Amino acid sequence: MFKRLPGDEARTLVSTTPDTAVVFRPAVLKTPAIITFLVYGWRFLSALVRTTWRHPVAVAVPVALGGICYWYGWPAAASTLGFVVLSLLAWACTDGDLFARLVGFRLLAWWRLMSVYRRHWNGVMDVSGLAKRVNGRVYMPRLLRVTCDGWADRITVRMLGGQAVKDWSDRIDNLAHGFGATSCRVALVKGGRLLLTFPRNDPLAAPMPALPIPDEPSVGPIEIGKQEDGRPLRLKVHGTHVLIAGATGAGKGSFLWDTIRGLLPAMRAGLAQIWALDPKLMELSFGRELFQGRYAADPGDCADLLDEAVSVMQKRAARFAGLQRSHIPTIEDPFVLVLVDEVAFLTAYQPDRQLRQRTSAALATLATQGRSVGVGVMAALQDPRKEVMNIRNLFPDKIALRLDESEQVDMVLGDGARDRGALADHISPIPELGAGVAYMRLETSPEPIRVRAAYVSDTDIRAMVAYYGQAA
């Protein structure tokens, strides 16, 4: 048996018995008690200052009540507390929106911070693999701030040095379930900082009835539904092209008919035209009277209508050359929206090769040159594969409704969209829950947003035709 030896002396020993353990005791440095007290005192003061800086109201309230209790007694402190609580309740009853914005959501954010996120932060970071251990020391991402609104919690996080956004986006399921949310979205705020969004409820769970037809003619952003945060969803159609992809029954028709509904006053005023291509004869045929004769269902007629749109575009470009760089709708030069339902019937599934090539060439020409002269394209399809729609990258704005496969999300919205929370393959197939729900990625914003389009029923379409079809 060997004696217990300190430090490195054990490594000079030679044992003839391989299974005999050499036990050594490392040198111990004894720290004076005064230094220990100073370190802990400094940590306490730092934590106190940091807490006061981050939560001034939460610190001021008990301090103020304690001061009143000390100088005037506990009845005065209790009366003051009761007066403040009753005043806040009266404010909440008289102006609930302002109270929620200035007080309610702040209190909710503090409660969620203390009861959910700070309580479970270390465990979730460790289990999900976002915390790192280097030489026995644990490095933890830092929770900076929690804010709340009516539907979600938003957490600002400082990543560890060397981490990437993909390290977090690959673990959105771990983060969502770890903090008791249904989903999680990751967005980059600035270098080293992320914004994690955890929805608390779903404002898009219930279907929306058709929105009222606008009173004033406009081709500007059209209100067609609602965003996940409760704000109106306004879709830009003038000066862009829109691609809509979704499985059967996902609600593509809602986006098409909401767009038509929003443009009706402009069509009646002569500032806009909709040229409809309906190879399935099932969707746009309900309102063919609205399109003023610019409706086609036969593949040959569709190709002719597209060639006519290209001709209009080229004539405008020749007249605008050197005079103007953007289009302003007028009666002489109205905004033309080419609406194509199930574009794959014309570009991929059409057996006539010549018609297929004509259609693909015309769509590509419109998508590359049309928006600056007031000719836009809105195309809907079910299968977003490249061999089905090889010009999908020419559409600046993209909408993904319910899709069958996770890979299709990035096909429609672009690489990395699903990692940032666009879970279009998780949208419910039940019409009441998922029809019209989509993720939208606009040219002006790389982050996908969750939206729901209003449902335009057959009765609504017949009413539109009865009123605006006669005027057309």
Contact between 189 and 207 (Cβ < 8 Å): no
Measured between alpha carbons, how far is 171 from 64 in angstroms, rounded to an integer? 43
Measured between alpha carbons, how far is 301 from 355 in angstroms, rounded to an integer? 10
Contacts of range 460-467, beta carbons closer than 8 Å, 24 or more positions apart: 460/210, 460/257, 460/261, 461/257, 461/286, 461/287, 462/286, 464/213, 464/260, 464/261, 464/264, 464/287, 464/290, 465/286, 465/287, 465/289, 465/290
Measured between alpha carbons, how far is 121 from 134 in angstroms, rounded to an integer? 19
Amino acid at 294: R
414 is in an annotated binding site: no
248 is in an annotated binding site: yes
Q: Which two tokens stand for residue 297?
A: 């269902």
66 is in an annotated binding site: no
Identify the bridge partners of residue 242 per DSSP, sorted by sequence position: 378, 397
Q: Which two tokens stand for residue 107?
A: 């209190």
H-state helical runs in 95-171: 96-99, 105-112, 118-128, 165-169
CA 455, 239, 248, 354: dihedral to nearest 10 degrees?
Answer: 140
250 is in an annotated binding site: yes
Bind-site residues:
246-253
Bind-site residues for ATP:
246-253
